[in-house]
Structure 1
Amino acid sequence: MDEAKELFLKNTAALFEVDQVLAYKLRSLENFSQFNMDEDANFIRNDNNKIYENVNEELNKSLEFFKNDFSKYPVLFFYGFGNGKLYKFLCKNKNHKAIVVFEDELEILALAFHLFDFSKEIKNEKLILFYTKDLNLASLNALFSFEFIKKSIKIYNLHIHSSFYAKYYYDKIESLNKDLMEIIRFIVLNHGNDPIDSMTGIEHTLNNIPNMLSHGIFQEFLKARRAKLENAIVVSTGPSLTKQLPLLKKYQNKVAIFCADSSYPILAKHNIKPDYVLSLERVVLTSEFFNNDFGDFDKDILFILASVVYKKSIEYLEKNHRRYMLVHRPLNSAGSLKLDEYGYLGVGMSVANMIYELIGALRFKNVILIGQDLAYADDGKSHAVEHIFGEQGDEVRDNLYTLAYGGKGEVRTQLSWQLFRQHFEKDIFFTKTKLGITTYNCTEGGARIEGTIEKPFKEVCEELLKSDLQKPFEFPKTLSLNEMREKLKKTKKNIEKNVSESENYIKKCKNELKKLDYEFSKEQKNLQTLRKIKDNLLKFFKELKTLKLFNELSQAMYFHNECEVMKYEVLNSLKQDEKLIDFLSSQNLWFLQILDYLKAQNETINKAIKEWGIK
């Protein structure tokens, strides 16, 4: 066997460990019909167009370019693999944790695999390859799950390997770049940008702790109900819900019904009893879904509310003696309370996402979605008939369109619904591959949700829902009064310790900011002193993440600043000094803001635990 063939087999063997599909496709190539290679390792297309005008000259020019301006970048993105020699050199740089390359031609990869040994770089994922014809959003999302890549979003740039790719693959490059930018946008939005909203959730959670401890324990509920049933329906409030209600009523005793808080009053009007009603939002208006009295209808329904809900939601439930349970969302503020048995649910951004997570945790085999339009109806309506805030609960906004249910044409949507759908698609992919759960989209309208099986509601009901279930389902157990009080005392003591740690951190940071103010006030600034202050502030910045009260309030701000810090740190030493004063000015403003929020959070916490009345 010649050396080139051995290299190809070694490289594809390494690729089999990280991407079996691509490795198999490369191994299956029997001949090269589009590209061949000359003695200078230049690849030539069958129309005589070359990837390089001059192989060595272009390589040296590229290496010099990336050495000067990109040597500190943790990740670099490229379109086009070429002969691969550039990436072999770039992988030697220890600062580069990953070189990500997208290639449209299998033959180019195969030829390059005959030239150089990439096996080590592929195995340890220093070199990450994507065949663009097999590319999907799931694989791109997986790429951005690497923490160092996620933090690099403000320095993202898609480099084009050579003018050959720019000339012949421009549309594909543009489309890929658009997809990558959309994922980056999603990451930024997903990290949040509203500390006031986070503070509200923290305040509500703390106020709701006594009610949480006096009701069902979520983890005990999961243990009791896990893998008991096969089929579940998620009832959402999109415009298409109305047409599905007669069929839902017919089959209601043959399936576990999970409904969104907004769907609950609609189901009550049609005498369709859900088994579980879930609520996620912290806003005042959401409480109005429970401002009603449906009498015996509410018997045997379990209301599962995120601990961030507004107090009125609980007051309305208790007023009419409805059974409920509070569950923590997977937020850092909730985690710091050390009440893990009461969590965690609600990673997604909508109550429907929350329901889907719960169904996955309960290990149902089949999930049926109805009313999950995530788009405006043809007449512009945003919600189902009989929604308490009206069919036009959301005004038509955002000039966004997405693929329609059934795959034909497009429907108008909005940004928040896009985010809900992306969460659904991530969760559906996970539950399908890891848990073997099949998801049917029986909305029969609205937006396509990738990963679901689109089928008429009637067909799925006839196929899956054969027998009546033993309803009502059992309710979760609760703590005794003494157990509840002891847990509340322990929680209070833990919180007070966390607040003390936060106050010490604020004091230390403010002292350093005073030094910075003093240096800024000087006419002649000392570069060495400013560098030292910068180092100290960056040390305190990283320390913030270790605080027990580092949570969603500070998390979003931390992530955005983390990206800004990386943007500065990848500069070469000369440019860092040139930008030092601007960088310190921005850090000064950031610290002032975050310290104010930490102080406000401490005050909110102290006020809440005082109202518990526990000494």
Structure 2
Amino acid sequence: MIKEMLNVWEDSNWAAYKERYGIDKFEPITNQEQIEIMNSRVGLPTVRVKSSNDKWVFLHSSVDPVKEAQKIAATVSGDPGKVIVIYGFALGYLVEALLETVDERNPLFIIEPDCDLFCAAMAARDLRHLISSERVYIVASDSAVQIKAEFFLVYDAAKYKEIVMTGLVGHQTVYADVYAHSAKYIKEIVNAKLLNLATMIKMGPLFESNALLNLADYCTHPGVASLFNCLSGMPAIIVSAGPSLNKNIHLLKEAKGKAAIFVVGTALKALEKWGIEPDFIFSIDPQPLNYEHFKGVDMGGAALVSEIQSNHMIFENHQGPIFVSGDVTILKWFDDSIEIKGKIESGGSVANNAMTAAYKMGANPIVLVGQDLAYARDGHSHASGTNYENLVYSGDENYAYFPIKANDGGEILTDRSFYQFLTFFENWIEKYPEREYINATEGGAFIQGTKIMTLREVLDQYCQKTVDVQKVVQEAQDAFELPNLEPVLEKLELRLQDTNKIILEANNAIKRLKQLEKACEARQAKKMQQHLKAINKIYIKFENDPYIREVAESFAHRDIHGVMSRTHAAEYSEKDDFHAAIADYNIYYKKIIGGLKAVEELLHRSMEKIRGKMCNGQ
């Protein structure tokens, strides 16, 4: 049991914690007889914890916890450009030692899975220097969702090239389950960040272009929020285009009128081939290829649920009802000029969107069909009848393709993208377990938290009552009132003025960079300072711009990421190459100007579309 002691540090530690993390003091949630704070032989406090087998385990040395921490820290590579992940905070000795040994530009990310232990530590020592340090990030939780969310905020692919993991041996013993999963959590976030970076490099311009081109439609159609809770208690079947769809697609006709049928765009042509009309079609992808899944497909009265950045040709050609959603940069421009349309979360896959939409619409159970998230054992990635039906992977396991648990109990190959989508499903189900999630894919990857059934079993057990999804759709459409588009048009005109101003500033920055280079070559210190001050002033304006800069940067994400990576690398180097630095910032401003000119053209096109809607009374 924790010894009676005067908790002289507790209040000040918690005050520092609230100031740093915005979180109030939390109380121990279990009996703290499992934790014992005592003096080590050198007089410093140490701690031991009772493990699951009722044995006491010291988390720090019972002799000299500081010396022990210094030994562990000495084994950790502290070169710059790394994130140091520490498993186990305990009383903070290892964190203190690492702050002394690793490069000051490397953040320390600490996972403390035992909240009771953290509370005990707050009463045992003065930890304010650790809690308040901007280099230290403490997560006092064993929640996968919280650990991953916090690490997502810390990790920056442009700054950090390596993750180094270390920790307390005692923690790894006592909290073995969380420890075993921690490396997986970190890997998942690094994977997600790298995939997000690759996505932005590939599709950043398409996101912003389509969002602006779809703005008129976004304003003049109801949001997905108008459907929230409208399918309460109704079964929803989400149809994706995985190769296992071939096994049970023929059964989906029986579900019509007995469940809400959601389909992702990739699977549309496969459903059309079988004469199956879904209730909702989902689209998020801005690429022109996404429109090819829709092109020429007659889905009758099916409603389109689309993100604002989805390819604009899908909006322009859909004949049925439309519901919109979105969370892109340009929507910040309009304050309350555009009603809140609602948000459906995603891990990057349109099937993720469909599942979260089904949840928010109140559907129960939520049934996944064709959601393989892996390659079939014959190498196919998609079902017959889709645009990708002939894509076959014939190789073996490697860096890009790796095995995971399959629904049939064996293993099956997946890739990084599929794995990210799988992770999203599992995290969502863990966070919102009150619904029944059924995996009726009949193949593919195992999804933790789902109940495995065949589609035949689902239809027999859950789809016996008649449901009227079309009535729900029609009522939501009828309730929508067309907004006044004049305020939206006014905001776009202001953004056009902003764009022109920033183009002038960027050109001025390029001129200043040329002058700075000449001053550096001539070693004219006073002129160098003048030009640096002017360039810095322009850069601060860019950083503080609330509207246009972020959109413009998306048109040159690859180049800008390269500039930022080289800038951080230069900070870690002892060399000072002003030619290289000036060249990088020249690239930055030139690419920004290119992006700004693209934004300027898109603003004109968006305004033209909105004026057309206004003239037509839409």
TM-score (norm: length of structure 1): 0.74
Question: How many angstroms apart in 1 are the aligned matches of 2:540 and 2:198?
Answer: 19
Q: Given that residues 231 and 363 in structure 2 are in contact (C-alpha distance below 8 angstroms), is that contact kept between their aligned partners in structure 1?
A: yes
1:361 matched residue in structure 2: 360
Give, in whole Å, the separation in 2 of the partners of 1:238 and 1:3: 59
Aligned to 1:100: 109
Query: Contact 2:89–2:111 (CA<8 Å) still a contact in 1?
Result: yes
Answer whether contact 1:80 1:165 (CA < 8 A) is retained: yes
1:232 Cα deviation from its structure 2 partner: 1.2
Pairing partner for 1:198 from 204, 226, 249: 204
- Backbone CA RMSD of aligned residues: 5.4
Report if the CA contact (8 A) 2:263-2:282 is conserved. yes
Gaps of 5+ in 2: 49-55
> Which range moved further: 597-606 or 407-416?
407-416
Instruction: Give the letter aligned to residue 390 of structure 1.
Output: E
2:92 alignment partner, one of 84, 92, 113: 84
Larger deviation, residues 50-59 vs 184-193: 50-59
Q: How has the CA–CA distance of structure 1 residues 508 and 110 changed in structure 2, closer, same or farther, with 3 Å as cutoff?
A: closer
Residue from 145, 151, 174 that aligns with 1:144: 151
Residue 502 of structure 1, aligned match among 499, 504, 521:
499
The alignment status of 1:477 with 2:490, answered yes or no, reads: no
Greater RCO between the two (CA within 8 Å, min separation 6)?
Answer: 1
Structure-2 change in CA distance of 1:326 and 1:551 (3 Å): farther
- Flag the 1:613–1:122 CA change in 2: closer, same or farther, 3 A: closer
User: Are residues 1:513 and 2:523 paired?
Assistant: no
* Maintained 8 Å contact 1:37/1:111: no
Amino acid at match of 2:271: L
Match of 2:463?
A: 465
Kindly state the Cα deviation for residue 27 of structure 1 after the two structures are TM-superposed: 2.2
2:2–2:35 CA contact under 8 A, matched in 1: no
Letter in 2 for 1:222: L
Q: Residues of 2 paired with 1:220 and 1:111: CA distance?
A: 44
Work out which of the residue numbers 235, 240, 251 in structure 2 matches 1:231.
Answer: 235
Q: Deviations over 1:391-420 (max 9, x none)?
A: 537786963224223483432112322232
1:583 is displaced (CA, Å) by: 4.2
The letter for the 2-side match of 1:256 is A
CA distance 1:495–1:413, change in 2 (3 Å):
same
Letter in 2 for 1:606: H
Q: Give the structure 1 partner of residue 594 of structure 2.
A: 596
> Residue 87 of structure 2 contacts residue 179 of structure 2 at CA under 8 Å; is this kept in 1?
yes
- Residues 211 and 310, structure 2, Cα contact 8 Å, conserved in 1: yes
| Partner AA of 1:285 in structure 2 | L
Residues 501 and 547 of structure 1 are in contact (CA less than 8 Å); yes or no, is this contact kept in structure 2?
no
How far is the alpha carbon of 1:353 from its aligned partner? 1.8
> 2:458, 2:33 → 1: CA distance?
40
1:252 aligns with 2:256: yes
Count of paired positions: 585
Structure-2 residue corresponding to 1:222: 227
Distance 1:58 1:262 in 2: 56
Q: Quick one: distance in 2 between partners of 1:528 and 1:57?
A: 50
State the alpha-carbon separation in 2 of the partners of residues 293 and 465 from structure 1: 27
Residue 155 of structure 2 is aligned to residue 154 of structure 1 = no
Partner of 1:377: 376
Deviation at 1:548, TM superposition (A): 1.7
Give the 3 Å change call, closer, same or farther, for CA 162–202 of structure 1 in structure 2: closer
Cα pair distance change 1:366/1:579, threshold 3 Å: farther
1:332 aligns with 2:329: yes
Partner residue, 1:283: 287
Match of 1:116 among 122, 125, 144: 125
Distance 1:20 1:406 in 2: 43
Distance 1:536 1:25 in 2: 58
Task: Determine the C-alpha separation between the residues in 2 that align with 1:21 and 1:439.
Answer: 33
Q: 2-side partners of 1:49 and 1:361: how far apart?
A: 44
1:401–1:410 CA contact under 8 A, matched in 2: no
Map of 1:491 onto structure 2: 488
Q: Structure 1: 5+ residue runs without aligned partners?
A: none
Residue 195 to residue 107, structure 1, CA distance change in 2 (3 Å)? closer
- Take 2:454 and 2:265, find their aligned partners in 1: how far apart are those partners? 24
Q: Kindly tell me: are residues 232 and 76 of structure 1, through their superposed partners in 2, closer, same or farther at Cα, counting changes over 3 Å?
A: same
Q: Which moved more, 1:439-448 or 1:526-535?
A: 526-535
State the identity as a percent: 19
Alignment of 1:191-590 (within 5 A): 191-192=197-198, 194=200, 197-212=203-218, 216-218=221-223, 221-222=226-227, 226=230, 228-292=232-296, 294=298, 298-314=299-315, 316-317=317-318, 322-325=319-322, 327-336=324-333, 338-342=337-341, 344-345=343-344, 347-392=346-391, 399-406=400-407, 408-432=409-433, 436-473=434-471, 474-475=473-474, 476-477=476-477, 487=485, 489-522=486-519, 523-526=521-524, 530=528, 533-534=531-532, 537=535, 540-545=538-543, 546-554=545-553, 560=561, 564=565, 567=568, 578=576, 582-590=580-588
* Structure 2 contact 148–185 (Cα < 8 Å) conserved: no
Q: Does 1:180 align with 2:206?
A: no
Secondary structure at the counterpart of residue 472 of structure 1: helix
Contact preservation (8 Å) 2:42, 2:63: no
- 1:308-344 Cα shifts (integer Å, max 9, x gaps): 3445435653xxxx31315243111344355344564
Change (3 A) 1:82 1:425: closer
Q: CA deviation at 1:267?
A: 2.3
Asked if the contact 1:305/1:324 (under 8 Å) is kept, the reply is: no
1:605 match? 603
SS in 1 for 2:160: helix
Shift of 1:39: 3.0
**Alpha-carbon distance between aligned partners in 1 of 2:219 and 2:461, rounded to the nearest angstrom:** 41
CA apart distance, 1:276: 0.9
Q: 1:41 to 1:238 in 2, by over 3 A?
A: same
